[in-house]
Structure 1
């Protein structure tokens, strides 16, 4: 038989060897693997669905998830209630929001969202009916019902928690916050538990306090003018909103000048610039020659001030430079609507500037996270390293145990040795695949690898037992007949496993998803590649013709 005929006759073995070589390249060759980045849509991270991606696994291209690298995991619901099937009575959404907010104690209009039915393409969510939603943990469904009744709005059902559109909006904003804050490898996705939706945030190599500080605020930033007005022959200071968050066009990063003052450069949308300019002029903060702010030292006797307000708290206050004020007086500023938000001097001022920059670029959360109703888990770097070591030890013990049982069972190296090697090859192929797509390995994925070894050896034992069921086999025809019979059994078992694991692989069920995905991949590799290759190897070793 020629070499070409030999290759054609054993093409399954050749395919397995090629996949092993390719997997080895993916595992060890530098620069191999999908591009990494921040968290992506639907909770995926860095092109995968397995959670956050930490640093590379040393000499390999493997990426470790939070459990094997250390970091912080936060799982919490969004605070709020909503009513579906609401009849706005011909009013626009803004009017409904103002009316409902006015009927609820301690609720601002920014906490209320009235959303008509429709398809929200950014989140790829279809909302079947109109919804009124209150983003607060201080409002119950009964109170929302009372506000709707008082406003004269008919409604359908009341629900604890936020709507699906708001949930997906929150995921987008939180993902942007993680990315803008430079927390490499963080992921944000939704998970279901007990019929309730949770937001799952995982950030490798970061402690709890930093992550909580980032996600625990809604990040609503406004520019407010604090200025005096005359009422009843007396002077009263009031706040007038000058720039809303959605009116910003671009936002720079936090910086410090030569004097140590921290600032953020921003620009306003062209369509909003004339209104913003008019507000600054009308409130006299943009008066000829500029204004000097003494808000912190003497708030009841100061010239008009510009306040940076984040989540209802004043971050900084400052006056307006004479040149900027004059350009607003002449109307020239609206042609190039840029200016600088200062936050003061010192390290805390720079941190405030960073928070403002991140919030402006990421956007405001549509609803706050109810951290007190969720869980927070922190894994230190040393714990992650310990988990990696333990996982490696467990994997080696599993392999040695399987190898020992197989050799005791058959006592024939030509049957047992290829069985162990073939089973291990499945793990190598899966590791190569994980390295290529930069899928983060965590404990659930390791469990999937161990399950693949177990199910793989089970199938190979079925093949060996069926082939040798009636003693030695010398005829190739007899071997192939027995092999086909065994293959039908393992094919049916593989189909059952895939069907059983598929819901876990596609549903947002946290760690179970990684386990299911790699178990299914292992079964597919086994049925399509390794089991047939093992059959070819047995045929060569056991038959004479």
Structure 2
């Protein structure tokens, strides 16, 4: 008969092991998604719900920096934010999206410029035109944390739209103080990933049309829409009988629809400009004079120019367009339409991502790590178990010790499976560290309680020795957690994964497995006294 009051820690450990088993092999595990590997490359048939990172599944890792410069804490009021952005952009000859002013307070702001052709001296001169007095030393290379976070969200969504499972996008700090964006995509080659993330994905709809002036007819270009003006994006469509060009059907926000309709009417698109555009991306690199064209511009490149259709012009003139502000964005081919759809759905990067390094791990080679890691773990487990048994010469001490250590690893793997953590070599290193420290703690506990293999005479003696051993273990665990905490918080790449697994393993050990092993020893050792 099990006394729940004396063995509740053991029962808790068993219950958690059951939940870990359900997470590893059953319905509680996170969806592993598609890995991108071919069937021929899946040399290790894994029956678990575990997901694997680049080191254990193969694929591409790309590390890059966002291009830009930043000055922080300058004196700009919240009321002047918009005018300051426009003035700096005009002074530097940039688009409005290349300058951002982020308010930090009523009269304090950070200013970012996203263009690699602008020098720090140019930036200082532009700020001086709006009354901001700074020096070159007040400007640093790089962007703000908000811009990096926005870039991470955009790249993550962009990759998710392609259905590439197991991918990750994180920010990583360097020892020199720089910040990088690290992208890992299992099962894909370098060129495919570079093509997917290398472009900023800034989408603009620019109207080009002729206007009369004192100097005659001139070409006017005006940005009408950006990626933020679209409320819904339909799937890309190939060219067909109704639409001779590949396209992406879109719907505008209400305010953007009103602005679009106004420009189309005032610019003459809905009257003289119907069908008046002969833009060809193969021969033309920009707006054409004497024509009414709606240009689709991606990252500054004019990918398509379309004329106003009679149906769309009629809906704008009649006002029905404002009820349902929908139309199609045309591109040169279906592949461009698909990329345009991804850019519109995920949004644009704040600035261009400069790729610093790109590496590729063969999926077939990475797959070999899994069975080798399992074989290594089993060999180490058997070896250490044999040594511990030789020392104690008592299976009642050695067997529970290794069952407890095994349950600790099992709980960690269940945790990883339930939260969809992609395991890589840094996590495996963390598991090894947890196994090592865990066995050390259990040996300390057994030695302290047994006192050179002496018998425990009473429950009071056992409890005293257990508390002393547990206090030593708890202090060591606290030291480990404090030492690992900076690595877990800071974005330092693989070190972060190692620290997180180690901290979680230590917490599981101190909170669950060590006390459970103490209960097992108490039951076995005191029963031994009674029998004698």
Q: TM-score range by the shorter chain?
A: 0.7 to 0.9
Structure 1 Cα separation of the partners of residues 102 and 226 of structure 2: 20
Deviations 1:427-483 (A, max 9, x none): 111111211222211111111111111111111111222223244304233333322
Determine if contact 1:445/1:514 at 8 Å carries over to the other structure. yes
Determine the C-alpha separation between the residues in 1 that align with 2:382 and 2:290.
Answer: 79
Question: Does residue 535 in structure 1 map to residue 518 in structure 2?
Answer: yes
- Alignment of structure 1 residues 175-324 onto 2, 5 Å: 175-194=156-175, 195-230=177-212, 235-259=217-241, 261-287=245-271, 290-296=274-280, 303-324=291-312
In the superposition, relative to structure 1, how do residues 289 and 223 fare at CA in structure 2: closer, same or farther (>3 Å)?
A: closer
**10 and 134 in structure 1: CA distance in 2 versus 1, 3 angstrom threshold:** same
2 CA distance for matches of 1:301 and 1:83? 40
For the 8 Å contact 2:54–2:361, the answer to whether it is kept is yes
**Kept in 1: contact 2:67–2:351 (CA 8 A):** yes
Match of residue 152, structure 1, among 124, 131, 135: 131
Matches within 5 A, 1:14-25: 14-25=11-22
- 2:38 maps to what in 1? none
Residues 288, 227 of structure 1: alpha-carbon distance in 2 compared, 3 angstrom cutoff: closer
Distance 1:14 1:343 in 2: 63
Output the TM-score relative to the length of structure 2: 0.87
Which blocks of at least 5 consecutive residues in structure 1 are unaligned? 39-53, 119-126
Q: Determine the C-alpha separation between the residues in 1 that align with 2:77 and 2:496.
A: 44
Alpha-carbon distance in 2 for matches of 1:362, 1:109: 20
Work out the CA distance in 2 between the residues paired with 1:488 and 1:421. Answer: 22
- State the aligned residue count: 510
**Cα separation, partners in 2 of 1:24 and 1:182, compared to 1, 3 Å:** closer
- State how far apart, in whole Å, the 2-side matches of 1:88 and 1:458 are: 59
List aligned pairs for 1:397-476, cutoff 5 A.
397-476=379-458
Gaps of 5+ in 2: 35-41
The alignment status of 1:173 with 2:170, answered yes or no, reads no
Corresponding residue to 1:138 among 97, 114, 117: 117
Task: Kindly state the Cα deviation for residue 150 of structure 1 after the two structures are TM-superposed.
Answer: 4.4
Counterpart in the other structure of 1:33: 29
Change (3 A) 1:110 1:434: closer
The aligned counterpart of 2:324 is 336
Distance 1:184 1:102, change over 3 A: same
**Aligned counterparts, 1:24-103, within 5 A:** 24-29=21-26, 31-34=27-30, 58-88=46-76, 92-103=80-91
Distance 1:534 1:244, change over 3 A: closer
Pairwise CA distance, 1:390 = 3.0
Which residue number corresponds to residue 500 of structure 2? 517
Q: For 1:33-82, what per-residue CA distance to the aligned partner results, in whole angstroms no more than 9, with x for missing partners?
A: 246789xxxxxxxxxxxxxxx9x973111111222122222222211111
Q: How far apart, CA to CA, are the structure 2 residues paired with 1:110 and 1:9?
A: 66
Per-residue deviation, 1:341: 1.3
Cα pair 2:61 2:359 within 8 Å, conserved: yes
Instruction: Give the Å deviation of 1:162.
Output: 1.1
Report if aligned partners of 2:50, 2:417 keep a CA contact under 8 Å in 1.
yes
Shift of 1:235: 4.6
Cα distance in 2 for residues equivalent to 1:517 and 1:268 = 44
Distance in 1, Cα, partners of 2:372 & 2:481: 28
Q: 2:350 aligned to 366, 377, 392, which one?
A: 366
3-state DSSP of counterpart to 1:293: coil
* Structure 1: distance between partners of 2:265 and 2:86: 27
So what's the TM-score if we normalise by structure 1?
0.86
| 2:529 counterpart of 1:544 | yes
